[in-house]
Amino acid sequence: MKTWLTKNGIIITRILFGRSNAYMLSNNKSQVLVDTGTAGDEKRLIKRLDETGKPDSVILTHTHFDHTGNAAVLKIKFNPDFFVHEREEHFLETGDSPVPKGTMGWTRFIYRLGAEKVPQWFHVTGVKATIIFKKNFDLPDYGFNTYILQTPGHSPGSSSVIVENEIALVGDAMVGMPLSVFPPWGDDTHEIIRSWQLLLDTGCHTFHPAHGWPVSRERLEKEFKMLRK
């Protein structure tokens, strides 16, 4: 498991890496898990949480199946609080996972083939949210200089976790891939670009997506400027 350390001592551990990344924020007071990965990663996730310690709470960057796949398992085993944006509270509770539209030629083609017509393929066991936020949400009660920032576009309630304005855990607001960091799936491409501006405005130097590798500020700025032309 790879870790990063902020200037004030918050430890960020990449608990899962691969199909969908998940991260743990740790300090001397509590532990916060960001996303839960896919259902197929259940054993690997539980094993690593047994090593790092149980999460006191879970923040969902959004409610697609590859981020909430183990939420119900965590609820049973650890009973953490669950944070979700109000626009996706219903999906977290029901386990429904609407398929986002494509933002590129090949993903738009797949979407048109009817991916959105087979929702049962993407259904997971739902859980009830503990804390429902509307826009930005501070986490001072958990001992973190950290807040949740709404960054829609990939989905209506997509959000990012901003850790001390140094590192952002961005869900699917971008991807850490070689050719482009623009997400291949998303409901609103213009909203994604606006969310990139919000993320750059935080001053963070590194952005950790749910798919792929960390994205540097320099790389995000370069693609952002190209898209804005």
Question: pLDDT for 197-214, tens place per residue?
Answer: 999 999 999 999 999 999
pLDDT at 139: 86
pLDDT at 135: 84
pTM for the whole structure = 0.95
pLDDT at 116: 57
CA dist 23 and 4 (Å) reads: 10
Q: Taking residues 29-44, what's their average pLDDT? A: 94
| CATH node for 3-228 | 3.60.15.10
By C-alpha distance, which of 212, 138, 148 is closest to 181?
A: 212
CA dist 139 and 54 (Å) reads: 18
Q: How confident is the model at residue 111 (pLDDT cuts 50, 70, 90)?
A: confident
Give the tokens for residue 131: 């804390």
Question: pLDDT for 53-99, tens place per residue?
Answer: 999 999 999 999 999 999 999 999 999 999 999 999 999 999 998 88
The radius of gyration of the chain from alpha carbons, rounded to an integer in Å, stands at 16
Which residues 6+ apart lie within 8 Å of 10 measured at CB? 25, 26, 27, 144, 145, 146, 163, 164
- What's the whole-number average pLDDT of the chain? 93
CA dist 215 and 137 (Å) reads: 24
CA dist 54 and 24 (Å) reads: 10
Question: pLDDT for 138-196, tens place per residue?
Answer: 987 777 889 999 999 999 999 999 999 999 999 999 999 999 999 999 999 999 999 99
pLDDT at 108: 85
